[in-house]
Amino acid sequence: LTAAEQAAFDAVVADDGRIEPRDAMPEGYRRTLVRQIAQHAHSEIIGMQPEGNWITRAPSLRRKAILYAKVQDEAGHGLYLYSAAETLGADRADLLDALHAGKQKYSTIFNYPTLTWADTMAIGWLVDGAAIMNQVPLSRCSYGPYARAMTRVCKEESFHQRQGFEGMLTLVRGTEAQRRMAQDALDRFWWPSLMMFGPPDDASPNSAQSMAWGIKRFSNDELRQKFVDVTAPQADFLGLRVPDPELRWNDERGHYDFGTPDWDEFMRVVKGDGPCNRQRLEARRRAHDEGAWVREAAAAHAARRSAVARA
Ligand code: FAQ
């Protein structure tokens, strides 16, 4: 970057403006965005698996249609995000290769199994809830295409969160066995949901620079606190117990106090050793291989159309 280009970039960021694909940008900024957007895209498509697991077993036609639509939405978010990464010069095929080779990450949350129907509802409530908390600020991120992609993604995630909460409400108002199933899902998904926000601030190597560049607007711990503040009263409303003996409202702070997630477990899952890491990557690689003919057919069709257009 020339000094003038760096000054122009700094001015846009300082002024809370948007950096666009053709603007000059520091190489580190571009790399950080490709890393984060790719991880985000990978999370969306791997995130189809835990809930997709229940499409054939949904308890009613209505629930099945809703779940189908939700899982398709996640695929759409993945496509949006891969496109956003491409505006930075990344190649979608390379990003997928890096995912399949285990070189790029996706969110730890999707390495936990969905053992019951209540788990799919808990994912809507908690996982989409956490995703919105993290992504609404990203719609003000300094990189234009990523920020704009978040507008629609967040609208859809909000709908997902509400359907999950409504599904939990239906379960807690059902039979005792259904209520227990809902409690069990909360017990298993609460702590992994808190881990979605990333490591604690003092162990988050990327945060300071990403905040300075206007990519992140809040720190990992700030967003985790906001999530707990919003979600704890929702659990009360459902009549469910959050599995954290330290959770209590702190009048002085105006926030809930809460316990510490098991960061050793988090690191194990990040490094590939969670309950479903192998199974998720294996299913993803298989889907990619089995979809090869679709990509070839789409490319052949596009080539023919452009040949016809030229003729
Ligand atoms: N899982 O220095 P930081 C969804 C990595 S929502 C795995 O704090 P950063 C919707 C991190 O990448 C889920 N890895 O990093 C949905 C970094 O690794 P690296 C996806 C994690 O980037 C709902 C290292 O640890 N949402 O899919 C995790 O500043 C329902 C150090 O961490 C997004 O991706 C984790 N939980 O902050 C779909 C949102 N946390 O590359 C289906 C966009 C951290 O340096 C169903 N991403 N790491 O080796 C972000 O906002 C940020 O990337 C953070 C992490 C906040 C996740």
For residue range 18-46, list pLDDT tens digits in order: 999 999 999 999 999 999 999 999 999 99
Ligand 1 centroid to residue 308 C-alpha, Å: 44
d(CA 104, CA 106) in angstroms, rounded, equals 7
Average pLDDT over residues 110-117: 98
Ligand 1 centroid to residue 119 C-alpha, Å: 21
d(CA 201, CA 208) in angstroms, rounded, equals 9
Average pLDDT over residues 133-154: 96
DSSP 3-state percent helix, strand, coil across the chain (nearest 5): 70, 5, 25
Please list, in sequence order, all residues whose beta carbon lies within 8 angstroms of the beta carbon of residue 308, skipping any fewer than 6 positions away. Answer: none
Mean pLDDT of the chain: 97
Look at the block and give the residue holding tokens 């990403």.
210
pLDDT-derived band at 6, boundaries 50, 70, 90? very high
pLDDT for 249 beyond 90? yes
Average pLDDT over residues 170-199: 98
Ligand 1 centroid to residue 103 C-alpha, Å: 14
Average pLDDT over residues 265-275: 97
**Number of helices (H), then strands (E), in the chain:** 14, 2
Task: List, for residues 117-126, the tens digit of each pLDDT value.
Answer: 999 999 999 9
Report whether 256 contacts 232 (CB < 8 A): yes
Report whether 26 contacts 1 (CB < 8 A): yes
267 lines ligand 1 (CB under 6 A): no
In this prediction, the answer to ipTM > 0.95 reads yes
d(CA 37, CA 267) in angstroms, rounded, equals 21
The percentage of residues in the chain with a pLDDT greater than 70, rounded to a whole number, is: 100
Q: Hey, what amino acid is at 216?
A: K
For residue 311, the model assigns a pLDDT of: 83
Q: Ligand 1 pocket: which of 29, 33, 37, 39 to mutate (most atoms <8 Å of CB)?
A: 39
277 lines ligand 1 (CB under 6 A): no
116 lines ligand 1 (CB under 6 A): no
pTM confidence score: 0.96
Average pLDDT over residues 106-128: 98
- Write the residue with the smallest CA distance to atom 55 of ligand 1: 198
Q: Ligand 1 pocket: which of 31, 33, 36 to mutate (most atoms <8 Å of CB)?
A: 36
pLDDT for 113 beyond 90? yes
